[in-house]
Amino acid sequence: MKIGFIGLGNMAKAIIEGLLLKKVILPADIIVHSAHASNYQPYAEKFSLKTAETNLAVAEQADVLILAVKPELKEEVLTEVKPALIQHKVALLSLLTGVTLAGLTEVVGSTFALVRVMPNLNVRIGVGVTAIAGNNVATESAMATTQSLFEQIGEVIRLPEADFSTFVALAGSAPAFAYLFMDALAHAGVKYGLSKNQALKIVSQMVVGSAQLIQQSGEAPWNLIDQVSSPGGTTIAGVLALQEAGFEPAITKAVDATIKKDLGE
């Protein structure tokens, strides 16, 4: 299967590197084109990917086309590749945040499979979480192809399109929130004399372990919080200080703002 990428920015690179890491696709079966040859050519050479001179040329050679440009380029880029999509019935996988299947259909019509795909950056090392939703023309085979591709680089959830904005907040954008939390914690460690590297190593392992404990035990976070909090101890002092500082309202505000942006409000 040949996979075409239109746009070779952070997310396309994360997907490519995840797929190559898992050795599920040959570099020669990945075809890329992006805005600046001076940027994408060296990257393609480094990973032995195929390049194409235009977006249309990518679409003409691909079995699956991944649209990985900024959402505002939707119209320009889709208009360019539309002839190949219609002629070759290439499945189009759109990563564009905030662009609905109806919005894609407005530009390219609905005679071939359109799948909305929302991955997160962690696909780069094979531990992402990706939501997918297809249009009426997306057959079970097109959905299964998309699902198995992204399952190589993490978990895949088939989600009603109406829930995509919430998914963006909880998974697409949220790695940034998690990194922010981790950086803040490590920074505080620096305040008390640890080196930043040492603090980040401690914090990241703590987060990995905490996430795995939730997943493997099936216990609710509050149960686990109670198990960490010794009566009159350090943890409850920290938990209450976080609550007083508005930790949960701050998280909710972040989710509200992300959803609002995704919905274009």
Ligand X SMILES: NC(=O)C1=CN([C@@H]2O[C@H](COP(=O)(O)OP(=O)(O)OC[C@H]3O[C@@H](n4cnc5c(N)ncnc54)[C@H](O)[C@@H]3O)[C@@H](O)[C@H]2O)C=CC1
Ligand Y SMILES: O=C(O)[C@@H]1CCC=N1
The answer to whether the beta carbons of residues 127 and 154 sit under 8 Å apart is: yes
Shorter beta-carbon distance to ligand X: residue 5 or 112: 5
77: nearest Cα among 54, 93, 100, 43: 54
Among 97, 100, 122, 146, binds ligand Y (CB under 6 A): 97
Q: Are 27 and 2 in contact (CB under 8 A)?
A: no
When asked if residue 4 is in the footprint of ligand X (CB under 6 A), the reply is no
Which one of ligand X, ligand Y, none is in contact with 124 (Cβ closer than 5 to 8 A by kind)?
none
CB of 121 to ligand Y, least distance (A): 7
* Cα–Cα distance measured from residue 15 to residue 120, given in angstroms and rounded to the nearest whole number: 9
Which residue is listed with tokens 């590297």?
197
Distances (CA, A) of 89 to 104, 112, 142, 147, 193: 15, 6, 11, 19, 60
Least distance between ligand Y and beta carbon 219 (Å): 29
Q: Which residue is nearest to ligand Y (CB)?
A: 172
Q: Which is nearer to ligand Y, 51 or 97 (CB)?
A: 97
Residues 144-183 that bind ligand Y (CB under 6 A): 168, 172-173
Q: How far is residue 154's CA from residue 185's CA, in Å, rounded to a whole number?
A: 26
- Pick between residue 61 and residue 97 the one whose CB is nearest to ligand Y: 97
137 assigned ligand-binding residue: no
Buried b (16+ CB within 10 A) or exposed e, 36-74: eeeebeebbeeeebbbbeebbbbbbbbebbbbbbeeebb
Q: Judged by CB, which is closer to ligand Y: 61, or 120? A: 120
Site string for ligand X, 63-102 (x = CB under 6 A): -----xxxx-x--xx-----------------xxx-----
Shortest CA distance to 134 belongs to which of 117, 157, 153, 149? 117
Q: Indicate the helix (H) or strand (E) that contains 78.
A: helix 74-88
120 is in an annotated binding site: no
Q: Which of 28, 35, 225, 250 binds ligand X (CB under 6 A)?
A: 35
Beta strands 3-6; 30-33: pairing state: parallel
| Among the residue ranges 117-125, 145-153, 226-234, 235-243, the one whose residues contact ligand X (CB under 6 A) | 117-125
**33 DSSP β-pair partners:** 6
Is position 172 an interface residue for ligand X (rule: CB under 6 A)?
yes
Which residues are annotated as part of the binding site for NADP(+)? 6-11, 34, 68-71
Contact positions toward ligand X, by CB under 6 A? Answer: 6-12, 33-36, 55, 68-71, 73, 76-77, 95-97, 118-121, 172
Contact positions toward ligand Y, by CB under 6 A? Answer: 97, 168, 172-173
